[in-house]
Every structure is written in structure tokens, then in C-alpha cells.
């Protein structure tokens, strides 16, 4: 079974440009999360989808970030316009609702460098 996949794995863009990150969750997982880790800091929660609905977007830093999950399958995270402080690694994770806990599985991350 395929895990959480993210694309691109690495991206270098100039300040002011736009970048769109994509996440394909594990098949059948209704919950999808975005996190990010900027240099030297802890992993921070950004937002959580349940199917196509945003359940919690309290971690989104500002309105330059837009996350979508049309159809409740894959998700995109767009940064427009990108700023230098947006550099870091963006992780996507997914989980399925069920008893006995709710294990979240992470992708390998999308590295973003804004220059």
C-alpha cells in the first residue's frame, strides 16, 4: 500500500513567486493534515481536512497560504506570494477515523527554499 506522497520533493523559488505543493494521502484516509518545519524550529501544525472540509486551520500563518482538498482526495497548499520566511519543509499527513487510537502517517515532506 502506498504511503503519503508529496510533490515536489524540493522547490527553489524567488521571493514573490507562487508555489503549489501537492499531497496524496493514503487511500481511504479521510483526515489530511499539513505541517511545516522552518529552520531550527519545531514542527508546527498548519491545518486539518476531514474529507473536503477544513476542520481546523488555526495554524495557517497568514492569508498568503491557501489549502484546498477538492473532492476529498489529494490536497494542495499554495503559497502566494512566497516570502523568505516561508522556507522550510512542509509535511503532509493522513489518518483514518477509527477506534483504538488514530495513527497519523506522514509523507517525506516538500522542501521549499525561497531566495
| Binding residues vs other proteins (CB under 8 A) | 4, 30-31, 33, 35, 42-45, 48, 50, 55-56, 59, 89, 91, 93, 95, 97, 99-109, 111
Give the three cell numbers for residue 58.
488555526
Give the three cell numbers for residue 66.
491557501
The number of C-alpha atoms within 13 Å of 55 and in the hemisphere containing its C-beta is 12
Per the document, the length of the chain is 115
Comparison of 13 and 50: residue with beta carbon closer to other proteins: 50
- Ramachandran angles phi, psi of 72, nearest 5°: 75, 15
Comparison of 44 and 78: residue with beta carbon closer to other proteins: 44
Cβ at position 16, least distance to other proteins in Å? 26
Comparison of 16 and 34: residue with beta carbon closer to other proteins: 34
Amino acid at each position: 500500500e502506498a504511503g503519503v506522497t508529496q510533490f515536489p520533493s524540493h522547490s527553489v523559488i524567488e521571493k514573490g513567486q507562487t508555489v503549489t505543493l501537492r499531497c496524496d494521502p493514503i487511500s481511504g484516509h479521510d483526515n489530511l493534515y499539513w505541517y511545516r518545519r522552518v529552520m531550527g524550529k519545531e514542527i508546527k501544525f498548519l491545518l486539518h481536512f476531514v474529507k473536503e472540509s477544513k476542520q481546523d486551520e488555526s495554524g495557517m500563518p497568514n492569508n498568503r497560504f491557501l489549502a484546498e482538498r477538492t473532492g476529498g482526495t489529494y490536497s494542495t497548499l499554495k503559497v502566494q506570494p512566497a516570502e523568505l520566511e516561508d522556507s522550510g519543509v512542509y509535511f503532509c499527513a493522513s489518518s483514518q477515523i477509527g477506534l483504538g487510537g488514530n495513527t497519523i502517517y506522514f509523507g517525506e515532506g516538500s522542501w521549499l527554499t525561497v531566495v
